[in-house]
């Protein structure tokens, strides 16, 4: 065997090992649980009630996720329970679901940080914290419902 053939054989062997490693790693990366939790402040057009709107999005590529609990954390947990938005909810990949909590339900002292105080628990026990939702239209509907759409305007 000449030097070029030996070099080619080594290169093929290294590539096979790397592809074997990628075959083992990639499914774990792309199949992992990924939930995005965003919060923005808005008014409901019908009632004028000011609320924190919590948007939960399944960012997994292939897996459904089940959200069992949503709450705001201050000195205690303040559950986000809306009869129109029952929990648990199962989200398909890239599907989102929204619920809300009236601003008045939170203590005054935490309102400044409220956009980062929401949490969601998945059926496997994992807990995800929220970030402010800054990429929202000025006017829209609450997503993920078969009920009559409730319009709300962002603050």
pLDDT over 80 at 14, yes or no:
no
Look at the chain and count its residues. 155
For the record, the structure tokens of 126 come out as 């994992």
Percent of the chain with pLDDT over 90: 55
pLDDT tens, residue by residue, 103-154: 999 999 999 999 999 999 999 999 999 999 988 877 777 665 444 444 555 5
Distance from C-alpha of 114 to C-alpha of 81, rounded to nearest angstrom: 17
pLDDT tens, residue by residue, 68-91: 999 999 999 999 999 989 999 999
Residue of higher predicted confidence among 19 and 127: 127
- Over residues 7-29, the mean pLDDT reads 63
Percent of the chain with pLDDT over 70: 74
Domain positions in the chain are: 1-30, 35-154
Distance from C-alpha of 132 to C-alpha of 112, rounded to nearest angstrom: 11
Predicted local distance difference test score (pLDDT) of residue 91: 96
Report phi then psi at 13, rounded to 5: -65, -45
Q: Following CA atoms 136, 96, 41, 130 in sequence, which dihedral angle do they give, to the nearest 10 degrees?
A: -110
Question: If you search the block for the tokens 């929401």, which residue do you land on?
Answer: 118
Quick check: helix, strand or coil at residue 10?
A: helix
Predicted local distance difference test score (pLDDT) of residue 103: 96
Predicted local distance difference test score (pLDDT) of residue 34: 87
- 81-84, long-range: CB < 8 A, 24+ apart: 84/145, 84/147
* pLDDT mean across residues, the chain: 82
pLDDT over 80 at 10, yes or no:
no
């Amino acid at each position: 065997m000449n030097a070029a053939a030996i070099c080619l054989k080594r290169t093929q062997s290294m590539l096979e090992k790397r592809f074997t490693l990628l075959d083992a790693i990639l499914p774990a990366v792309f199949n992992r649980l990924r939930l995005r939790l965003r919060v923005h402040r808005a008014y409901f057009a019908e009632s004028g009630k000011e609320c924190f709107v919590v948007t939960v999005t399944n960012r997994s590529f292939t897996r459904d996720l089940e959200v069992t609990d949503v709450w705001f954390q201050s000195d205690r947990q303040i559950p986000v329970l809306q009869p129109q938005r029952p929990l648990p909810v199962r989200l398909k990949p890239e599907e989102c679901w929204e619920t809300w909590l009236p601003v008045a339900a939170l203590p005054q002292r935490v309102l400044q940080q409220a956009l980062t105080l929401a949490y969601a628990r998945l059926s496997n026990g994992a807990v995800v914290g929220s970030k402010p939702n800054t990429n929202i239209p000025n006017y829209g509907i609450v997503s993920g419902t078969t009920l009559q759409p409730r319009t709300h305007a962002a603050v």
